[in-house]
Chain A
């Protein structure tokens, strides 16, 4: 073999260019004719081209001496049950090794992937293993199996994956010069796999050609499902991960969705976007952002801001891009003109919809994208519509009416009370709550989840839940799927309606699910349908049938671990039924039973565990077992933090209800901090628009309790304005009562009365006679009269207030919580009227109730204030020693719960000390 002189090379160079551009067949023919004309040249070229083929086979220079991460000399080492054989790849994420089982139990070869991440502490390791085990359950023929996940003795995390020999999907298509239709069909296999993962509520987050392999037999295999999530450290957002961990290649995050770059929550819609990019690339051979070079900044800008060129325009022949467009068309076995015609219309529209910048404007699910592509292949009309002027106008309007729509949601039909749980806020936000998706994981694994949830906007988006459910129902009606999955879908839809407080709509849907389920043998489905129906009926005042259904559902389930999750489902609904029918203790017992059942499951459904904690806390709170409730809220909050869901709306709701329990138990200082966190979470863009008016009102009430009156009135007034705007009757009423109390504390009696005059007719309209809220109203009037100096009126009203609430309480209409306060208020009036002995009786009544609810050593501002009042009564009775003791007890309680600067704490301290001086 001789070397080539520069001259020889120069002479051969243009022929080589020609020859290398040909297919093997073309080349053979070409060489033949060339050899006839110039035999010497032909022979030389033939030698070089033979060499070329040999080099290609051998892979000469294909494995570059690129730096390999990780510990050197890993070959031969064992990782878990595997012996590393040779390195087969490396990338920004880390190195990949071919390995086989050390114990020879299986003949199987696997790929071991070492990840270039520093796991933060022990918690990081555990989280990594836990997440890994979740991904491991994702079994699908088109998804490369995750066999194991762990951390090597050197501290490096690794994944053991099914070893897939195949090519990147784009290269696979190009090498086989697949036409458009064949590409779309192959792409549909990818969609099936992604849809399966979504049904299991796992989002890929990093779909790109190198993660979508096609084997020689044409089988699609997806790699690295959910791994991007594994790579996210605690407190790190997805964008950071994408840009830093991925290293070199992540400097060009070509397949990242706009929300990933903006650091917004990643949902199934994120995968829809990446699939859109992939489809674009498969169809056109180019990236939607156009041909490079792109600096990372340009690319980010293009992804976030720039509408991509239509695929048909991208492939259309232009002089500037003649070479590229011709090459790309040739690879698709066609010409640029024909390719452009093929893509124009439906495929343009489908790709555009998948590539929408706003996640909620994309296909609602991967399945929906697949359906449209299927329609395209069958020449049926597709569902996606091209953007029209009307569409764009509507989009603009929508952007600007977000605030109104959000507020309009906050409609609640539940009991109007003196305190408000964030029931409606929970419902209002549930759909845009990322955590919620996960909550559903163990419940109903089906298309509906991804369908509903992928439409869920990550933040402050306009309101479409009902539309969404409506659409979901239509889809179910049209579906001819099997009955079990229809039942599951209907249950999910019904539950969504319930969460929206749309019981009237929920009921028929779940009744239908129940009806169908009676014809099925599957125990899980039958039980779930029974229990779901029981839940709805208990809210519709049919407690007997509700309870019977829960029992029926529970009986259906054999006592085996595989039904544990169904039992949890039924027990949680059973708890809701018990609570709805006033059986508070049974409600608690059933959540506790759910907690035990959860331990039997072979899974670790952590979000379900969280939900059980939250339900337990709520059950305790509703049963007025506040210390237990607060304890459960704390646990739930820890759990939430551990899951990295600290800033979701579930967290917001949890915090509100936790703070509410704290304020009910008389710990406003702590409540204030937690309310503040809840407000922070729901605040968007520095405005309070995203914050529920009920939360604002609750916060105002706590600020009032802490004597921060100016802030309190500000929040209460905003809560009122927002509730009015939203047509939220309950919060409007609550905020009027809060304002009355604040104005009274500010000594602005006229306004205080004005509030009460406004709220009274509203309450009469909304609430049944005898509701304890009327007692509250009377009590507020009494205090205002007292401040104004009309003692007889104050006393009369105070009596009426106590009578009203006592009666309500006896009739089982709650209000017991409020009784100690009412007794104290009456005592205050009595004391003022110079009747300390009568006042003493009332204070004793109050203290008696408080001690039952808040047994010592529970510190509570309520107990503190009762003791302060007791001290005053005792002074009036001339019992100074006892008064001093009472005042000291008051100080103990108040210092910790209201702070030492609070006026009540100071009064109590004065009484305790003044008495001492007199001694």
Chain B
């Protein structure tokens, strides 16, 4: 599995469409599996943040895969996008079930979720983000990392080896785009 991810990332970066699809689906199941494992390891009342999960996923896969595994920044870009999908799925799930849910470990708090960001709104942000990604993939990635996965500007800056200010500026820019897009969609 690990070696697949490594080679899939390579292929995806060459613009291989099916490979990109396969990469996302592999990452999806990998992250899901890890979340379950962590849940089992840490016991029920403890929850795990997304950043932790992603860090562990990286360490886990990089360890299996050896030196050919891409660096953390590249990996996080892909993984964060997958995470976005998982989180939205989960929000939807929670909305439907109110209780329980398959993804206990991230245990999204339904009530707070509804107050903060509705899952439908999340889906809209996600769509807008996909649009933005087509034009400015780096900007979209920052939103994935920051908004969906909870990384700080400092962490993202460290990953990309740019200043924190640059990250913040890009994020602000992306936010303008997203807001505009969502507002426009709503008023349709």
Interface residues of A (CB under 8 A from B): 1-4, 6, 9-10, 13, 16-17, 20-21, 48, 51-52, 55-56, 60-61, 63-75, 86-87, 90-92, 116-118, 154-156, 247-249, 251-252, 291-296, 323-324, 327-328, 331
Q: Which of A21, A69, A154 sits near B46, CB closer than 8 Å?
A: A69
**Which residues of chain B from 102 to 144 have any CB-CB distance to chain A below 8 Å in the complex?**
105-113, 115-117, 122, 125, 134-136, 143
Q: Which of B45, B115, B180 sits near A1, CB closer than 8 Å?
A: B180
Chain A residues with CB under 8 A of B125: 61
Q: Which of A10, A48, A63 sits near B135, CB closer than 8 Å?
A: A10
Q: Which of A9, A63, A91, A116 sits near B116, CB closer than 8 Å?
A: A63
Bits for B34-56, please: 1 = Cβ < 8 Å to A, else 0.
00000000110111111111111
**Which residues of chain B from 157 to 181 have any CB-CB distance to chain A below 8 Å in the complex?**
157-159, 161-163, 165-166, 169, 172-173, 175-181
Assembled-state Cα–Cα distance A65/B108 (Å): 8
List 7 tightest A-B contacts by C-beta distance, closest first: A292-B158, A248-B51, A69-B47, A67-B106, A3-B184, A248-B52, A66-B150
Q: Does B72 contact A (CB under 8 A)?
A: yes
A sample of 24 cross-chain residue pairs with beta-carbon separation below 8 angstroms, ordered by A number, consists of: A1-B180, A3-B185, A10-B135, A16-B176, A17-B173, A61-B175, A64-B149, A65-B116, A67-B50, A72-B107, A72-B109, A72-B111, A73-B111, A90-B49, A116-B47, A118-B42, A118-B43, A118-B46, A247-B51, A248-B54, A291-B158, A293-B158, A295-B59, A296-B59
Q: Which of B47, B135, B157, B161 sits near A6, CB closer than 8 Å?
A: B135
Interface residues of B (CB under 8 A from A): 42-43, 45-56, 59, 71-73, 87, 91, 105-113, 115-117, 122, 125, 134-136, 143, 146-150, 155, 157-159, 161-163, 165-166, 169, 172-173, 175-181, 183-185, 187
Assembled-state Cα–Cα distance A91/B49 (Å): 7
Contact B49 A1 (CB under 8 A): no
Instruction: Knowing that A72-B110, A248-B52, A327-B163 touch, tell me 4 more A-B residue pairs with CB under 8 angstroms.
Output: A68-B107, A68-B108, A323-B166, A324-B162
Contact B49 A66 (CB under 8 A): yes
Chain B residue with Cβ nearest A3: B184
Contact A61 B173 (CB under 8 A): no
Q: Which of B51, B162, B181 sits near A3, CB closer than 8 Å?
A: B181
Chain B residues with CB under 8 A of A118: 42-43, 45-46
Given contacts A20-B172, A56-B172, A61-B147, contact A51 B179 (CB under 8 A): yes
Assembled-state Cα–Cα distance A231/B18 (Å): 46
Chain B residues with CB under 8 A of A72: 107-111
The smallest beta-carbon distance between A905 and chain B, in angstroms, is 50
Q: Which of A65, A67, A296 sits near B47, CB closer than 8 Å?
A: A67
Contact A249 B51 (CB under 8 A): yes
Contact B111 A4 (CB under 8 A): no
Chain A residues with CB under 8 A of B134: 6
Contact A51 B47 (CB under 8 A): no
Assembled-state Cα–Cα distance A249/B45 (Å): 20
Assembled-state Cα–Cα distance A154/B163 (Å): 43
The smallest beta-carbon distance between B101 and chain A, in angstroms, is 9
Chain B residue with Cβ nearest A281: B154
Chain A residues with CB under 8 A of B176: 16, 48, 51-52, 55
Contact A69 B107 (CB under 8 A): yes
Assembled-state Cα–Cα distance A4/B184 (Å): 9
The smallest beta-carbon distance between A236 and chain B, in angstroms, is 14
Chain A residues with CB under 8 A of B148: 64-66
The smallest beta-carbon distance between A178 and chain B, in angstroms, is 16
Chain B residue with Cβ nearest A246: B52
Assembled-state Cα–Cα distance A52/B43 (Å): 43
Contact B108 A3 (CB under 8 A): no
Assembled-state Cα–Cα distance A117/B42 (Å): 9
Chain B residues with CB under 8 A of A67: 47-50, 87, 105-108
Contact B150 A64 (CB under 8 A): yes
Assembled-state Cα–Cα distance A328/B163 (Å): 9
Chain A residues with CB under 8 A of B91: 65
Contact B47 A68 (CB under 8 A): yes
Chain A residues with CB under 8 A of B184: 1-3
The smallest beta-carbon distance between A45 and chain B, in angstroms, is 11
Contact A327 B165 (CB under 8 A): yes
Chain A residues with CB under 8 A of B110: 72-73
The smallest beta-carbon distance between B145 and chain A, in angstroms, is 10
Contact B159 A292 (CB under 8 A): yes
Contact A70 B47 (CB under 8 A): yes
Contact B55 A248 (CB under 8 A): yes
Q: Which of B42, B46, B72, B177 sits near A9, CB closer than 8 Å?
A: B177
The smallest beta-carbon distance between B140 and chain A, in angstroms, is 13
Chain B residues with CB under 8 A of A91: 49
Q: Which of B158, B169, B185 sits near A294, CB closer than 8 Å?
A: B158
Task: Identify which of B48, B53, B136 gathers the most chain A CB atoms within 10 Å of its CB.
Answer: B48
Contact A9 B135 (CB under 8 A): yes
Chain A residues with CB under 8 A of B115: 86
Chain A residues with CB under 8 A of B150: 64, 66, 248
The smallest beta-carbon distance between B61 and chain A, in angstroms, is 13
Assembled-state Cα–Cα distance A784/B47 (Å): 72
Assembled-state Cα–Cα distance A888/B179 (Å): 95
